Structure 1
Amino acid sequence: MSARVNPNGKLAGKVAIVTGASRGIGEAISARLAQEGAKVVASARTAEPGDSRLPGTLHDTVDRIKKAGGEATFIKADLSNAQERERLVEETVATYGPVDILVNNAAITYFIPVIDFPEKRFKLMMEVQVYAPFHLSQLVLPSMIERRSGHIVNISSGAGIHPKPPYSGAGRGGTVYGMCKAALERFTTGLASEVAQHNIAVNVVSPGLVATPGVAVHGLINEQTKDRVQPIEYIAEAVFQLASGDPATQTGGIHYAAPFLKELGREPAELV
């Protein structure tokens, strides 16, 4: 494997929080940012084996980075809880210093038709996928504004695009998920317009279909979709490019990972 950590990379000295980092896309993003010298705080609810029915833990993510020579730690946090979100940022600052990069990747998702969707699950999805990114941004922005430097990257989905007729009636109960991602994208562009004057970039990366444990649980990869599966490196690379880009020219974007990298003329880096 040729991938390695460059302690003097483009993100040297930067402090990054990545949520939903115990597996899948969040783990890959954490590794990619660490490869470029960032000090990464990986956060999720799954710290130890047995914390989740899905494979992958925060220990695994941090061990992967440290074995490659990178700098990382983890902070277990339930992002549906405001106090946990506040603690995540406070402990990050105490450990590494002010936050330079915030990647809002955490999600909890239920695919249920609207007519059957329980209020409790609706509120949980909105809290984790919409309000948590909003609140975490509020928590890191004062320091970013003071230092006139910062990058926020929100992870969205093609589900945020409006369905188009003719409607087949064969939807998978993804309306609430789509609502969350559409709201996250509108938050991104709105916040970008508010903080551009402070040299802070706010962008979205929208992954394609990626073979992650969460995707497997929901059965989203099948005979009809398998040809659309995208390597996870594409998403990690797109996030890195946005987390290291010039806020003056690269902000307020809803970027689809593969076309975005093609536009930049970049190939995804191999991950440690």
Structure 2
Amino acid sequence: MTIENKVVLITGASSGIGEASARLLASRGAKVVLGARREEKLKAIADDIIAAGGQAAYRPLDVTDPQRNKDFVAYAKDRFGQVDVMFLNAGLMPSSPLSALKTDEWDRMVDVNLKGVLNGIAAALPEFTGQKSGQFITTSSVAGLKAYPNGAVYGATKWAVRDLMEVLRMESAMEGTHIRTATIYPAAIQTELLSTITDPAALEDMNRTYDSYQITPDRVASVVAFAIDQPEDTNVSEFTIGPTIQPW
């Protein structure tokens, strides 16, 4: 399998999709490097992976800080000798109607969901370009494919990621750098996303949706593994993932 021995960096790795992906990829022979703000959770996950016979390392990471993204990539290369995949998974979803004017939350979503992805790309792209190989995977959302009430700014960041990744794929093909991209659009997945919602009505609505439909994050992790495991000459660009019973 092409997963084996690849060095995979994962942001937002302390829970949810990031954690599930780290555990699955490590079980298939990848060397995973975990990044998130909660160091104690990263350590616990890495310790579990190592105890199970896998290879893992971790480093606290705030994706909104460009230098810390660069340090994260440098740490991974120093620890394992190379960088093969950057899974840009960190994100937050404080949904609210625009009329609530929660502008501080708008700014935070732009900083994490969009600038955080750009910072990760800027940190890893020189490595991928230099070695003429590498893969960026991002977690967008079904809100990056269609509009939802209460999700204007969240959706805007996720639509932006969709375009960003497609242009990155096209430019890599044109420049001959062989960088692969994959964008994932999850629907109701059991994660900590809802914990960032401060608007009571929006939270009630989202809780009702997730309580009715959500599936576990390992379902997304299996798709992340599928994207990585393709032959190096094959790019699989987009995956929409959600509960079979959810009408999205």
Contact 2:65 2:119 in 1 (8 A): no
Q: What residue number does 2:166 align with?
A: 189
Relative to total residues, which structure has the larger helix share, 1 or 2? 2
3-state SS of the aligned residue for 2:38?
Answer: coil
- Where do 1:13-162 residues align within 5 Å? 13-48=5-40, 57-162=41-146
Q: Kindly indicate whether the alpha-carbon contact (under 8 Å) linking 1:10 and 1:37 is maintained by their aligned counterparts in 2.
A: no
Matches within 5 A, 1:156-171: 156-163=140-147, 171=149
C-alpha change, 1:34 and 1:126, in structure 2 (3 Å) is same
Q: Which runs of 5+ in 1 are unaligned?
A: 1-8, 49-56, 165-170, 260-272
Q: 1:256 aligns with which of 237, 240, 243?
A: 240
CA RMSD of aligned residues (A): 2.1
SS at match of 1:198: coil
Distance 1:226 1:257 in 2: 17
8 Å Cα contact 2:2-2:231 kept in structure 1: no
Alpha-carbon distance in structure 1 between the residues aligned to 2:65 and 2:239:
29
Seen in structure 2, the aligned counterparts of structure 1 residues 131 and 195 have a Cα distance that, compared at 3 Å, is same
**Residues 1:106 and 1:243: Cα distance change in structure 2 (over 3 Å):** same
Counterpart residue type for residue 237 of structure 1: S
Q: Find 1:243's aligned residue among 207, 210, 228.
A: 228
So what's the TM-score if we normalise by structure 1? 0.79
Count of residues paired in the alignment: 234
Quote how far apart the aligned CAs of 1:75 are: 0.4
- Evaluate the alpha carbon distance shift between residue 11 and residue 249 of structure 1 in structure 2; reply closer, same or farther with a 3 A threshold: closer
After superposition, the C-alpha distances for 1:87-121 in whole angstroms (9 at most, x for unaligned) are 11121222112210000000133222223334433
**Alignment CA distance shift 1:117-1:88 (3 Å):** farther
Which runs of no fewer than 5 residues in structure 2 stay unpaired? Answer: 198-202, 244-248
Q: Normalising to structure 2: TM-score of the pair?
A: 0.86
Q: How does 1:175-186 map to 2 (within 5 A)?
A: 175-186=152-163
Aligned to 1:54: none
Could you list the structure 1 runs, at least 4 aligned residues long, displaced by more than 6 angstroms after superposition.
none
Q: Secondary structure of the residue that 1:103 maps to in structure 2?
A: strand
SS for the counterpart of 1:34 is helix
% identical aligned pairs: 27
Q: Deviations over 1:41-83 (max 9, x none)?
A: 10000112xxxxxxxx112221221121100011001111122
